């Protein structure tokens, strides 16, 4: 695939390549996902919402920590919702997990439905980030936690695919966006990863995890 097509698939996996794209994202995003889940500090009776769960591969890493936790995942890729339901059939059966095809700015949940929300590598694709954050604040209970994980602008702008439909952010930009939209940043952690190879060229790779609370 050309860079424009790869970018399109990363934004919304679909068609014959969808399943393979989901699996590749799991491999490439292993550490950022595991660190994000750790930052959730999962505890008794948590109600957790994930925005952009892909094929739901990491749901087990959440639900095996405590059997009182329930989880919902949203993605606007129909193919990823189908894959997530297949991979997590056991949790669907026990009603500990549910998956929804929807946009982040229009969530099918009532006010204050969740006490923790997280999202990994989706902020680049939010066409109206203020509306997304307003919606996240609506479904998050007062004092609830929001975790946003992403690769920083200093890294993303060197990837050839990000010229096609990605909005990249520095730590300061993410923090300011949250502060302007009813969230208070309480922690920002940065981690380096192994260099990422694009067509023979090794590029710097790192991620950051921003933790905030609803004001």
Q: Supply 158's token pair.
A: 């060197």
pLDDT for 52 beyond 90: yes
Contact 80, 54 (CB under 8 A): yes
CA geometry: angle 181, 168, 60, nearest 5 deg: 80
Query: What does the mean pLDDT of the chain come to?
Result: 92
pLDDT at site 9: 73
This model's pTM is above 0.85: yes
Distances (CA, A) of 107 to 16, 72, 179: 27, 11, 22
How sure is the predictor about 1, in pLDDT bands with cuts at 50, 70 and 90?
low
Q: Between residues 2 and 142, which one has the greater pLDDT?
A: 142
Question: What torsion do the CA atoms of 100, 173, 58, 65 make, to the nearest 10 degrees?
Answer: -100
Domains of the chain: 3-214 (3.40.50.150)
**Is it the case that residue 104 has pLDDT exceeding 90?**
yes
Q: Residue 196 pLDDT > 90, yes or no? A: no
In this predicted model, which residue has the larger pLDDT, 40 or 164? 40
pLDDT digits (tens, 9 = 90+) for 110-119: 999 999 999 9
């Amino acid at each position: 695939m050309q860079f424009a097509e790869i970018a399109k698939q990363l934004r919304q996996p679909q068609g014959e390549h969808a399943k393979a794209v989901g699996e590749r994202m799991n491999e490439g995003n292993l550490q950022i996902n595991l660190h994000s889940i750790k930052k959730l500090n999962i505890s008794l009776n948590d109600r957790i919402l994930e925005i952009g769960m892909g094929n739901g591969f990491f749901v087990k890493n959440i639900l095996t920590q405590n059997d009182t936790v329930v989880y919902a995942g949203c993605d606007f890729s129909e193919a990823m919702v189908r894959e997530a339901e297949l991979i997590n059939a056991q949790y669907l059966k026990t009603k500990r997990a549910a998956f929804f095809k929807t946009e982040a700015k229009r969530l099918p949940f009532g006010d204050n439905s969740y006490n923790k929300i997280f999202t990994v590598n989706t902020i680049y694709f939010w066409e109206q980030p203020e509306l997304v954050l307003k919606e996240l604040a609506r479904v998050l209970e007062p004092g609830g936690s929001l975790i946003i994980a992403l690769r920083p602008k200093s890294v993303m702008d060197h990837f050839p695919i990000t010229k096609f439909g990605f909005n990249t952010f520095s730590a300061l930009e993410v923090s300011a966006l949250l502060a302007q939209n009813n969230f208070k940043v309480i922690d920002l952690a940065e981690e380096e990863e192994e260099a990422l190879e694009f067509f023979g060229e090794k590029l710097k790779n790192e991620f950051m995890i921003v933790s905030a609370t609803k004001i």
